[in-house]
Structure 1
């Protein structure tokens, strides 16, 4: 089977991590897989090496004119990828986000999470990428249920995999280097942005510091298409008001990320919108105590393996519990949970789904005979 997986970026965002891992697992299962994406900022490759069994097509995406708005950049992203991508050689065209789904046209779509946007172009991109694909996947039942209620769309649920061995078997020396550099720390991966609940985490950390003054807050990651400078400025202003000084690492080299996670005293995941929580699952693989926002989707994925907090005070209290009380039973449950989520299993389930769409007639990502989802009215 010839499969095209489409993404919008080369950066280590959750959807891009998913796309590459799925592509490699599909290729290992004997499929002919090509990943298409945009190379922003001069990127000619992904944030990590990709198995040579997977073909990659990175479409150059030059910086826009000064003053380009988010909406204009969204439209230019769609047009650039659409102009470069030819679906006709492929049996399956599978888009992982709204930009690539708009560029691909008729396709399979994985809806990783649902969002609400105020930028008109982005809101329209999001809506089209839900209603126009002929088949849908979700990485959790919670998102699939929201898609059914809001749009009348039935989606197959295939959870993410996780690179378990990569996070479970980090070298002691590498972990010691991070501890020597950072001391004791709570880690959050995903950058500083509204969806990640960064301001709530900052407030929770300030509360935590009253009893744990030696613990640092460390933020890693953060490459994104969107402009969160105003939110980041508010976050920095609030940090100064609270008298706290978090460490912001930015994007961490791929080979260094597992030891950074494994050396943490706790992993904070206070997102207000999520579809699965891949970074949090990686923390469980590393045996790190996990504190997450109390959301239905995160209850679905992490019940029994994580601590949950609904408010800033809850998050602070659960972080304090994780820092002061060993919980080997919860740690064992977390490791077992992470180990069960393999990319091989995800790939086999994707192949079964593709085949259920009668993929062989014809090529170009437009099977005949597959069940076509019909959108309904409503909003998330």
Structure 2
């Protein structure tokens, strides 16, 4: 099949990581895959090298300092629409709200549901769910939210994870890189994804402050954070609480892709206290590296991680769970590594392939979940209609 994967950014956000890994796994299965994206801030390539088997098309997108979030999103849609030609593809797969609004009839993966207050962004968000010809989610929990809100039943294909990459970072070959991070940062609690409301950053900060009496040398490290949205008011509240609590976190910002596995593997614990997630790729990567994870107690985290992480619902519980992890209690590292290893991009690509076959044949999913089992695929192939 000729497949276009579309995403809104070249930066290392979860949906972009998903887009590239899926594209490479589909190309490895023999498909012709092109990834389309917007080159924000002068970018002409993604945050990491992409397998040469995947074609990359970066559409220039100039920055404008005086632009509101809504104007930036609308201009993003218009820019992608003007550049993208769907005629050369059997499947167009949009991985976010912006590209789903830009590329015409498409498959859409709803990674999570956002909450907007301005009418035009609410409309943009809803069109990106209702207008596609077929829908996917990476967890049953998010698929249920889509059904509850829109009466649609997306098909669920869980994320993959490059578990071998993070396992190597935790092994003998990664020892020097881990030592460099620990020399620079000391012992640290790590959070990835930046400082923003959805990541629960202030809750994690408050919980970390409760640990300091018993762990005075422990540091709080935050990495990542590239986003389209304006979280400056939240960041100001975060900085204010840092001053009030006497906490001086290390904010690394956007990281080089090669630095991430060792940074994760060297952490004492990963704080994954998002208030909303679609799957939890950063937490799955930490488990692959044998690092304990404290996760917000949400339906999606329960679904994806089961007993492999420790759950917490509020600041005192987060602090207690972090303390237990630091003391080596409550998590089975082997179980976490096994869970991560089961989520391969090869399996995810095979499931997407089956989904695409149905969409191409039927013209969409009619708002209903598609059976992707091998048994169903064999039944379709043996049917008189399929044989023609």
Q: Give the TM interval when normalised to the shorter protein.
A: over 0.9
The CA RMSD measured in Å over matched residues stands at 1.1
Q: Does 1:82 align with 2:81?
A: yes
**Partners of 1:59 and 1:22 in 2: CA distance:** 20
Q: Which residue of 2 aligns with 1:153?
A: 152
Give the count of matched residue pairs.
364
Name the TM-score, length of structure 1 as normaliser.
0.94
Question: Could you say which structure has the higher helix fraction?
Answer: 2
Deviation at 1:123, TM superposition (A): 1.6
1:338 to 337, 340, 350: 340
Do 1:294 and 1:309's aligned partners in 2 also have CA atoms closer than 8 Å? yes
Q: Does 1:46 align with 2:46?
A: yes
**Partners of 1:260 and 1:223 in 2: CA distance:** 18
Deviation at 1:68, TM superposition (A): 1.2
**Partners of 2:365 and 2:270 in 1: CA distance:** 41
Q: Which residue of 2 aligns with 1:272?
A: 275
Q: Which residue of 1 aligns with 2:222?
A: 219
Residue segments in structure 2 that go unaligned for 5+ positions in a row: 369-388
Q: Which residue of 2 aligns with 1:210?
A: 213
Partner deviation per Cα, 1:263-319 (whole Å, 9 max, x = no partner): 000000000000000011000000000000000100101111000000001000000
**Partners of 1:58 and 1:238 in 2: CA distance:** 39
Q: Which residue of 1 aligns with 2:240?
A: 237
Do 2:91 and 2:360's aligned partners in 1 also have CA atoms closer than 8 Å? no
Do 1:75 and 1:121's aligned partners in 2 also have CA atoms closer than 8 Å? no
1:246 to 249, 253, 264: 249
| 1:43-192 paired onto structure 2 within 5 Å | 43-64=43-64, 66-170=65-169, 171-192=174-195
Name the TM-score, length of structure 2 as normaliser.
0.92
**Partners of 2:114 and 2:70 in 1: CA distance:** 16
Answer 1 or 2: higher relative contact order, Cα 8 Å, separation at least 6.
1
Helix, strand or coil: the match of 2:49? Answer: coil
Deviation at 1:326, TM superposition (A): 4.6
Q: Which residue of 1 aligns with 2:383?
A: none
**Partners of 2:110 and 2:59 in 1: CA distance:** 23
Q: Does 1:36 align with 2:39?
A: no
**Partners of 2:360 and 2:299 in 1: CA distance:** 34
Deviation at 1:150, TM superposition (A): 1.0
Q: Which residue of 2 aligns with 1:257?
A: 260
Q: Are residues 26 and 212 of structure 1, via their aligned partners in 2, closer, same or farther at CA, if it must alter by over 3 Å? A: same
Helix, strand or coil: the match of 1:212? Answer: coil
